[in-house]
Amino acid sequence: MTSTFAAALERRVKHSPGDPLVTFYDHATGERVELSAVTYANWVAKAAGLLSDEHDLERGMRIRLDLPAHWLGTVFLGAAWTVGLVVTDGDDVDVVVCGPDTVDQWAERADELPVLACSLLPLGVRFRDPLPGGVHDVGIEVWSQPDAFTAWDAPTGDDTAYAWGGEQGTLTDMVEAAATGSLLTDGGRLLTVANPTSPSGVATFIEPLVRGGSMVLVANADPERLEVTAEQERVTARA
């Protein structure tokens, strides 16, 4: 059993690098993005480099992912666990990754911790307008990071993966729970509208990763279009 996120992702890339891992729809904008396992791994490496090498985040530090349901949420989850950061929903953190709706809120703390803002525009590009002083634009900084990342102080399975809602679990806890989960069968395709960076939604991403499946994440879901999306993407389960 692979006991860390990095090991689970490495195994997935080795066995099915070109197969879809994350497919993202935004019914409000018409956007569709699909990340294969190897493309996702490249994004994780870049984001991990941004956190670790650019902003000096270290194993055991705490990260807040204040993002709506979006494919970049899965990327920063993977980056956090590759570096060894603890994902939390609290305010006592060492770094924040936010979306455009909460930039101004977090900008007030930009002098005390790194605030990394995602425009959530297609292809992960930069914000169109200047950001508040001290806030970092992920769409600018992430592209200069390498496509491969190796943590200098790599987390083990005993490292804490998350601490939210009064609950916490290790990387081993998370990976083993995903391997025995019930959201989908091995190799299945899971349709979800849950935010993967939330306590209730994280399994909708981790379980497909570990079980050789894939996730179809729909933001701003239109109930009438959801059935069409499910049919087009050949989903086998829903959550």
| pLDDT for 3 | 87
Q: What is the pLDDT of residues 201-230, one digit of tens each?
A: 999 999 999 999 999 999 999 999 999 999
Q: What is the pLDDT of residues 61-83, one digit of tens each?
A: 999 999 999 999 999 999 999 99
| pLDDT for 166 | 83
Cβ(164)–Cβ(199) under 8 Å? yes
N- to C-terminal Cα distance for the chain? Answer: 25
d(CA 175, CA 200): 16
E strand or H helix at 178: helix 171-179
Cβ-based neighbours of 110, under 8 Å, separated by 6 or more: 132, 133, 134, 135
- What percent of the residues of the chain are helix, what percent strand, and what percent coil, each to the nearest 5? 35, 20, 40
Cβ-based neighbours of 55, under 8 Å, separated by 6 or more: 95, 114, 116, 136
At 170, is the secondary structure helix, strand, or coil? Answer: strand
| pLDDT for 131 | 98
Question: Which residues of the chain are modeled with pLDDT < 50?
Answer: 1
At 48, is the secondary structure helix, strand, or coil? Answer: helix
Q: What is the DSSP letter of 80?
A: H
Question: What radius of gyration do the chain's Cα atoms show?
Answer: 17
Measure the CA angle with vertex 70, ends 69 and 71; round to 5°. 140
Domain borders along the chain are 5-238
d(CA 34, CA 54): 27
* Topology annotation, domain 5-238: Rossmann fold (3.40.50)
